[in-house]
Each structure stands twice: as C-alpha cells, then as structure tokens.
Amino acid sequence: MKRLLALAAGTAGAVAMVVAPSTAQADTVHTTAVVTKNVTFSCAYPLIGNRDVPATVTATFPNSVAVGSPINTTNFSVAVSLDALTLQALTLIGSATVEGTTTAGVELDINGTELGVTLPGLNIPVTNVTGPAPVALNINGQVPSLTVKAPGQVDIAIGSTFSGKITPKRADGTLTGLGTFDLNCSMLPGQDPALVSIPVV
C-alpha cells in the first residue's frame, strides 16, 4: 500500500509479544510490533482558518500472518496536537473542553491491489483545552480485521485525509455559540505515510 489510519516500514519501536500454546505440541510463536508514525495535516478551523496539525499515529500489528488468518490491528490511537492559536480561539468562544468523533482514511496495498479504506466512528474523548499549548487530542477506536486468502504482502499506510465533528463546551458542560463544527484535514505533501508491511505466508 502506497499510502493508512489511522501506521511504518521504516518505523522503529518493535515490541514482541509471545503467545504460548497449552498443548504439548511444538510451540507456535506469534509476534506483534508497535508502530509509531509522525505526520502533519493541514486542518480548516472556523474563525482561524487553516492550521498545521502534527499527528502521531500508533498501532500494534502482527509481524506476519498465515494465509486465511486475520490481520488484527490493536491499540490504535492518533494524538493530534493543538497549538497556541487554536487554544486561544477556543478560549475566546468560552470553551473549556472539546470532544467529538472522527473518520480517518487508510490506504491498503494487498498483493499489488490498492484499496482506500475509511475508519468511521473514531472517538475524541472529553479533553481539557484550558492548559498551555500544545494540547493533545487522543483519538482512538476499533480497527476492523483483514483476512487475506493468498500468500503475498499487505502494505498499510496513513490516508491522505481525515475529518471530524468537534464539539467545544463551556466549563459547565453547555455548548458554546459555535456548536458542533466540521473539521476537514489533508496531509501536507512530501511526507512518507507508510506504516507497515506484513508478509502473508
């Protein structure tokens, strides 16, 4: 996959997890790797216009899978950083917290066939935005499994866009005058979105 999600062929930080069977047969070892990737998006905010938004994508992937076995992505998250101007704008409208949902693009290349996939319903939990910049919005959610029925390779990359519905709220939990707004973001050009390449054997 040339492009994601949420995640890097050149990424560091592998953590092995061993699963030992309870039978007396020869041990089968399954390993996974934690992958972290930093990219920057341009996001269109109300009131202040476009802002560069750094994002850190993290997920756990299998190092390889057998043909017909699911590729399970776990511990998926995206930390999006809000800068000082964004926080100032939220303060001006009376916001103490933000929350919402997002939809993220993921690019797959399965044995040479490229597919664009959407991850809907990702969650932005209630986050305090009254502190000093930067403030991280930690997006998380479930990633569907993928089963490949022929040997080869699956490449996973971060999609070029993501969108969200963001709700700022006052300290008492009521809506600000802005209500819920749409946030549309595009990855800045010239970045490597690749997350991982998984052999299917």
d(CA 109, CA 95): 41
The CATH number of the structural domain formed by 32-200 is 2.60.40
- What is the average pLDDT across 96-121? 93
Q: How confident is residue 150, by pLDDT bands cut at 50, 70 and 90?
A: very high
- What is the average pLDDT across 98-103? 96
**What is the pLDDT, as a whole number, of residue 32?**
84
pLDDT of 19 over the 90 cut: no
Better pLDDT: 131 or 53: 53
**What is the pLDDT, as a whole number, of residue 7?**
34
Q: How confident is residue 15, by pLDDT bands cut at 50, 70 and 90?
A: very low
Q: What is the pTM of this model?
A: 0.79
- What is the average pLDDT across 184-191? 96
